Structure 1
Amino acid sequence: MKSALYLCLLLVVLQVQALPKLNHSNKHKHEREQPHSLGDHSHVEHENSAHMKITPSNAEFAFRFYKQVTEEGGNKNIFFSPLSLSTAFAMLSLGARSNTLSQLHKCLTFNLTEMEEQEIHEGFQHLLQLLNDPHRKIQLNMGNTLFIDERLELQQKFLDDVTNFYYSEAVSMDFQNSEHAREEINNYIKEKTHGKFVDLLDSLDEDVMMILTNYVYFKGYWEEPFESYDTRDDDFFVDAKHSVKVKMMYKSTYYNIHRDEKLSCWIVEMPYTGNAAALFVLPDEGSMNQVEDALLQDTVSNWRQSLEGRSVDLYLPKLSISGSYDVKRLFLKMGVTDMFSNDADFSGAAKNTLLKVSRAIHKAKLNINENGTEAAAVTMVEMKTFSAMFSPLEIKFNRPFVMMIFDKATNSILFMGKVVNPVLVHME
């Protein structure tokens, strides 16, 4: 059986509410816009490198957000999708103007002296095309939807742009019938995340005018599977004084690894079938803080370039963790303030209505286990034979570690996290 890394979603929900004393004279109901399918953009050549221009900024944002979470999260599990966050707020920026827009660009680390605003959105457009390619071997789906109150009329250019660049569907509904609207939105989220998020939206305030959602669903299978009969009960050391019992998986095979002596950590790359890989970073005892401080694009890029194949006795715990984040609170600390206040300028999104973001949440879940489907390993069999002259190196993930899931086709960080306690499922 192939071992599966079973990653479910992330999603961002933005509630955009009307500011007080607005002109509600426009009662025109916005008709539902049909999303552009990826097939509609077949004229875009595969070798188009538009997405590569935004890759460094997306990576830098991932590490900035991670560090913001660690600063206030203490010694807890962390798991989120930086790409989902970047995509959702980049899409929202299409309607932002003045200081609201510049703060968003700065938070997402987009430097307009190095690239034009148009190039940002073209980058995400191509990125979504590549990620959602139905011919890929990994199961990866990413999408966006705008739920719009029927009282709100959006700027046509904003609608055209979110549909063209982000393949977003625009759904008009009666938010005054809040219970029905909430149920419809939750059913949509449940369907897109394969049932992993149920009743995500707990309430819908009467002044909410638009909800933006972004979802990511990923399921991958290891090229070199773990066997369930090799899994044993073992200790995972949460800290120097406390340990918990975990199901520790074991595999002796050939992996790409790197030892960073300066930061005192091991890096192990575990590939999936379908051009994706997980990067696990195991700091030596007492070295987690210095590893986290060094988490930058250049550091991770150097790690990946320094990987070398070696025979490894690898121990990795089965785990199921989740992350839930108040993005509004985190973004405020990252310098994004106008968007959430009466100084917000989303005049590029709506006609005759002043809007601000009232709530932004992000949830993600991760499950790593041995479940999967039968399939043959790819090139790893030959490489394992080649490495037989080396004695296996033991790398045991029995203490807190950092992990990243890369989509190699786009060089994007899909998910990122830190495992402090593999048996704690729900972490706020």
Structure 2
Amino acid sequence: MKSPLYLCLLLLEVQVQGQHRSSLNDEQQEQKIPHSPEDHSQPDGENLAHIKIAPSNYDFAFRFYKQVREEVGNKNILFSPLSISTAFAMLSLGARSNTLSQLHKGLAFNLTEMEEQEIHEGFHRVLQLMNDPHREVQLSMGNALFIDDRLKLLQKFLDDVTNFYYSEVISSNFQNSPEAINEINNYIETKTHGKIVDLFKSLDPDTVMVLVNYIFFKGYWERPFNSLVTRDDDFLLDAKNSVKVKMMYQNKAFNIHRDEKLSCWVLEMPYKGNAAALFILPDEGTMRQVEDALLKETMSKWMQSLEKRKIYLYLPKFSISTSYDVKSLFEKMGVTEVFSDQADLSGVAENTLLKVSKAIHKAMVDVSENGTEAAAVTVIELVPLSADIPPPPHIRFNRPFLMMIIDKTTHGILFMGKIVNPAARED
């Protein structure tokens, strides 16, 4: 059986504005991420650095979601806020003046509440925790800079991207465009375990750097569905239209919350390994009000209100992928200068004026039963008798719903989306 699979990729293309270029720094090389989530030799402040950036990352996730919603209308949405914010936070190491201020504001970082150094320490810790090989979920996140061999990075930028973001720095010959494209695509294919192939199609003649961030997640439900009871069912696209889906079913106890104010159900489905999927099912006609209420305060209230309760759960199998022009979305969010000729990325390279010419994001999700129950196992659940306990509710995800994948170790939203049509594989 397939396991739930989520992965995504952000790719930034940086091109030269001026005509001054020089050779690549010979010290640029691959940087490995130390797997040290339990490294108590680090100061407590560094161990908790990821907690400090979490509220900003939530704010960014919901702001970006609402911008995507305005852009795509009534279509599936799926993206990794953490991938996007990590990539642009890394780029901000080389940004200066108003370009830097816009990036911080766009990523929802308030420098009156935290120092710039703390932002990068936070992402540094997130990368350490996410890449711990001892976790039960298969989770990896990383960064790479493909650098034209005529560009010389400033030593400070090189040190910071490798020390904070563990970025691999790979020398490339962008004058040989097919070779460089092939090299980048091979890297992406390897890091996404063959799930994203031939993403990069063309290279602008002025490109001197391509920044890649990837996240790969593969998790197993703590309580898998039995594939033998999956049935064909209708998924209601709207009041008049529906599509056929494979509807999974189980009758077990989950953490749920009924938000009467927003008219929605909130369901937490845990993965093995300290991660969980959060599914939000708005009542018919209330999707917009639930989306508008997506704020870190709402999330906090939902998480604190979850209670374990037996339910009849119906959830469709689905596999979708999406692609976004992040440059266009960021510009509408007020982050404009880094993409313009006014960009100040003077902290990146020597004698070279740079701007971001392209920023693309691709994500995919695959949700299924994830395994079968062993026939030799017998489970008996005992619950106290009470005449006051209401019957288990039927929570049927047979209409558009929201989903988030939350890593409880880093307190981050790995993926966020809206499933409008589970039968539509790509938007």
When normalised by structure 1's length, the TM-score is 0.94
Q: SS in structure 1 opposite 2:87?
A: helix
Q: Match of 1:409?
A: 409
CA contact (8 A) 2:35 2:128 kept: no
Deviation at 1:123, TM superposition (A): 0.5
Q: Match of 1:27?
A: 23
Q: Match of 2:87?
A: 88
Q: Match of 1:38?
A: 34
CA contact (8 A) 1:30 1:152 kept: no
Deviation at 1:29, TM superposition (A): 5.2
Deviation at 1:48, TM superposition (A): 1.6
My pick for the range that moved more, 391-400 or 40-49, is: 40-49
Matches within 5 A, 1:230-379: 230-372=229-371
Deviation at 1:371, TM superposition (A): 3.5
Summarize the Cα distance change of 1:327–1:388 in structure 2 as closer, same or farther, 3 Å threshold. Answer: farther
Q: Match of 2:3?
A: 4
Summarize the Cα distance change of 1:375–1:123 in structure 2 as closer, same or farther, 3 Å threshold. Answer: farther
Matches within 5 A, 1:176-187: 176-187=175-186
Deviation at 1:44, TM superposition (A): 2.8
Alpha-carbon distance between aligned partners in 2 of 1:302 and 1:375, rounded to the nearest angstrom:
37
My pick for the range that moved more, 384-393 or 304-313, is: 384-393
Say if 2:224 is the partner of 1:228: no
Deviation at 1:375, TM superposition (A): 8.2
Q: SS in structure 2 opposite 1:69?
A: helix
Aligned residue identity for 2:399: R
Summarize the Cα distance change of 1:254–1:175 in structure 2 as closer, same or farther, 3 Å threshold. Answer: same
CA contact (8 A) 1:148 1:209 kept: yes
Alpha-carbon distance between aligned partners in 2 of 1:284 and 1:351, rounded to the nearest angstrom:
56
Deviation at 1:167, TM superposition (A): 0.6
Aligned residue identity for 1:180: E
Q: SS in structure 1 opposite 2:358?
A: strand
Deviation at 1:372, TM superposition (A): 3.5
CA contact (8 A) 1:147 1:170 kept: yes
Q: SS in structure 1 opposite 2:89?
A: helix
CA contact (8 A) 2:221 2:370 kept: no
Say if 2:365 is the partner of 1:386: no
CA contact (8 A) 1:259 1:267 kept: yes
Deviation at 1:300, TM superposition (A): 1.0
Q: SS in structure 2 opposite 1:183?
A: helix
Aligned residue identity for 1:15: E
How far does the alpha carbon of each residue in 1:363-409 deviate from its partner, in whole angstroms, 9 at most, with x for none? 00000012347789xxxx68x53377653211000000000000011
Alpha-carbon distance between aligned partners in 2 of 1:45 and 1:195, rounded to the nearest angstrom:
38
Aligned residue identity for 1:179: P
Alpha-carbon distance between aligned partners in 1 of 2:27 and 2:211, rounded to the nearest angstrom:
17
Alpha-carbon distance between aligned partners in 1 of 2:372 and 2:157, rounded to the nearest angstrom:
43
Deviation at 1:205, TM superposition (A): 1.8
Say if 2:48 is the partner of 1:49: yes
Aligned residue identity for 2:12: L
Aligned residue identity for 1:404: M
Deviation at 1:165, TM superposition (A): 0.5
Summarize the Cα distance change of 1:123–1:373 in structure 2 as closer, same or farther, 3 Å threshold. Answer: farther
How far does the alpha carbon of each residue in 1:49-96 deviate from its partner, in whole angstroms, 9 at most, with x for none? 110000000011000000000012110000000000010000000000
Aligned residue identity for 1:385: L
Structure 1: gaps spanning 5 or more residues: none
Summarize the Cα distance change of 1:387–1:183 in structure 2 as closer, same or farther, 3 Å threshold. Answer: farther
Matches within 5 A, 1:118-133: 118-133=117-132
Q: Match of 1:396?
A: 396
What is the RMSD of the two structures over their aligned residues, measured on CA atoms? Answer: 1.8
Alpha-carbon distance between aligned partners in 2 of 1:4 and 1:252, rounded to the nearest angstrom:
20
Say if 2:195 is the partner of 1:199: no
Alpha-carbon distance between aligned partners in 2 of 1:288 and 1:39, rounded to the nearest angstrom:
40
Aligned residue identity for 1:11: L
Alpha-carbon distance between aligned partners in 2 of 1:387 and 1:305, rounded to the nearest angstrom:
24
Tell me the percent identity: 66
Alpha-carbon distance between aligned partners in 2 of 1:105 and 1:318, rounded to the nearest angstrom:
38
CA contact (8 A) 1:282 1:401 kept: yes
Deviation at 1:5, TM superposition (A): 1.8
Q: SS in structure 1 opposite 2:47?
A: coil
Q: Match of 1:157?
A: 156
Alpha-carbon distance between aligned partners in 2 of 1:220 and 1:121, rounded to the nearest angstrom:
27
Alpha-carbon distance between aligned partners in 2 of 1:222 and 1:148, rounded to the nearest angstrom:
40
Summarize the Cα distance change of 1:85–1:375 in structure 2 as closer, same or farther, 3 Å threshold. Answer: farther
Alpha-carbon distance between aligned partners in 2 of 1:35 and 1:190, rounded to the nearest angstrom:
19
Summarize the Cα distance change of 1:360–1:388 in structure 2 as closer, same or farther, 3 Å threshold. Answer: farther
Alpha-carbon distance between aligned partners in 1 of 2:117 and 2:207, rounded to the nearest angstrom:
29
Alpha-carbon distance between aligned partners in 2 of 1:241 and 1:414, rounded to the nearest angstrom:
34
Deviation at 1:32, TM superposition (A): 3.4
CA contact (8 A) 1:254 1:387 kept: no
Q: SS in structure 2 opposite 1:222?
A: coil
CA contact (8 A) 2:227 2:372 kept: no
CA contact (8 A) 1:311 1:388 kept: no
Deviation at 1:251, TM superposition (A): 0.5
Aligned residue identity for 1:424: A
Q: SS in structure 2 opposite 1:121?
A: helix
